[in-house]
């Protein structure tokens, strides 16, 4: 990945992450009547996430020529982070992965107990949908956002992927089964992050295809890279990534293809995403979205 792409992404993050974060704690507290529940929700929300999904939405919105209006667009955009944070809290619970640490800090249930952590996740999930509609956007736009997110994260998206995941612990998945699991568990929300930008930016659906192809390639690359990091990450990186135990490691890209094969799959997936971006409608500059691929280091 050229270093100017890395710089582009870094500049974009530096411009947007503080702007997206600034109103977050107060907005969650204003919409949560129980103080301890608000504390549990904001604990994980403010624990150092990269804000990748909201950033993808903003990048897509601006690429299609839309203008981000803080009053109108902030809540729908940050709904993605509420949703993502819920998925991490529930994924870490004793009844799921039983992880004591996330991003190097105690997980929500270690700090607040499993009951409150479950409710913090429930609160974030529900508030995400409230925030998609608590805005001055036209009703059809809000309906499209709600429908898109529900499909991405419900029982034919992320929740289905998680269900496949917990059933796969004792079995070796085939490569197509592994790809389906990844597409639902991780890819669907990243797909929606781009879709939300297209909806908010008002791009006619006839022009969506190259963007969604990019989104799907990005989602797959994200998961392949996460699998690779589990094998090769430095201790510092591992504090941020989610470690798999030996039993889980078979259902990964390196488990199926070896480390070299997984790296090649990552390179090929990034190339297919870059190719999709070459087909954007004329006048729409692909360089910002292309820069998102610099999240992945392909020389591990």
The footprint of ligand GRG (CB under 6 A) covers 49-50, 52, 87-88, 90-91, 103, 158-159, 162, 185-186, 226, 241-242
Angle (deg, nearest 10), helices 158-167 and 139-153: 10
> Which CB, 186 or 294, lies closer to ligand GRG?
186
Q: Where are the alpha helices (DSSP H) in 168-241?
A: 175-182, 188-201, 209-232, 235-238
CB of 242 to ligand GRG, least distance (A): 4
Q: CA torsion, points 16, 17, 22, 26, in degrees to nearest 10? A: 120
> Which CB, 57 or 162, lies closer to ligand GRG?
162
The tokens describing 266, both together, are: 């990552």
> Which CB, 152 or 288, lies closer to ligand GRG?
152
CB of 149 to ligand GRG, least distance (A): 13
What distance separates the 2 farthest-apart alpha carbons in the chain?
52
CB of 193 to ligand GRG, least distance (A): 10
Residue nearest to ligand GRG (CB): 49
CB of 67 to ligand GRG, least distance (A): 26
CB of 212 to ligand GRG, least distance (A): 19
Residue 3, CB half-sphere, CA atoms under 13 Å: how many? Answer: 0
> Which CB, 159 or 238, lies closer to ligand GRG?
159
> Which CB, 56 or 280, lies closer to ligand GRG?
56
Asked if 190 contacts 221 with a C-beta cutoff of 8 angstroms, the reply is: no
The tokens describing 201, both together, are: 């930016």
């Amino acid at each position: 990945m050229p270093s100017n792409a890395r710089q582009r992404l870094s500049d974009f993050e530096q411009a947007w992450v503080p702007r997206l974060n600034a109103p977050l704690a107060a907005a969650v507290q204003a919409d949560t009547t129980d103080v301890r529940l608000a504390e549990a929700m904001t604990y994980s929300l403010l624990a150092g996430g990269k804000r990748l999904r909201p950033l993808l939405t903003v990048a897509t919105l601006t690429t299609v020529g839309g203008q981000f209006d803080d009053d109108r667009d902030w809540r729908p955009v940050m709904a993605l982070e509420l949703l993502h944070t819920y998925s991490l809290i529930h994924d870490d619970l004793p009844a799921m992965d039983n992880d004591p640490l996330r991003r190097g800090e105690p997980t929500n249930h270690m700090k607040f107990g499993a009951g409150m952590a479950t409710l913090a996740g429930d609160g974030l999930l529900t508030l995400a949908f409230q925030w998609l509609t608590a805005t001055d956007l036209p009703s059809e736009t809000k309906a499209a956002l709600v429908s898109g997110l529900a499909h991405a994260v419900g029982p034919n998206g992320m929740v289905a992927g998680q269900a496949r995941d917990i059933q796969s612990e004792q079995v070796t998945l085939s490569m197509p089964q592994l790809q389906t699991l990844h597409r639902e568990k991780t890819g669907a929300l990243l797909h929606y992050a781009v879709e939300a930008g297209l909806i908010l930016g008002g791009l006619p659906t006839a022009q969506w295809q190259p963007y969604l192809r990019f989104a799907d390639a990005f989602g797959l690359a994200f998961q392949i890279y996460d699998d690779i990091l589990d094998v090769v990450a430095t201790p510092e990186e591992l504090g941020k990534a989610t470690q798999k135990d030996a039993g889980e490691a078979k259902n990964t890209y390196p488990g199926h293809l070896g480390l070299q094969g997984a790296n090649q799959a990552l390179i090929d997936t990034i190339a297919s995403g870059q190719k999709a971006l070459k087909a954007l409608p004329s006048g729409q500059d692909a360089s910002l979205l292309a820069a998102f691929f610099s999240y992945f280091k392909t020389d591990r």
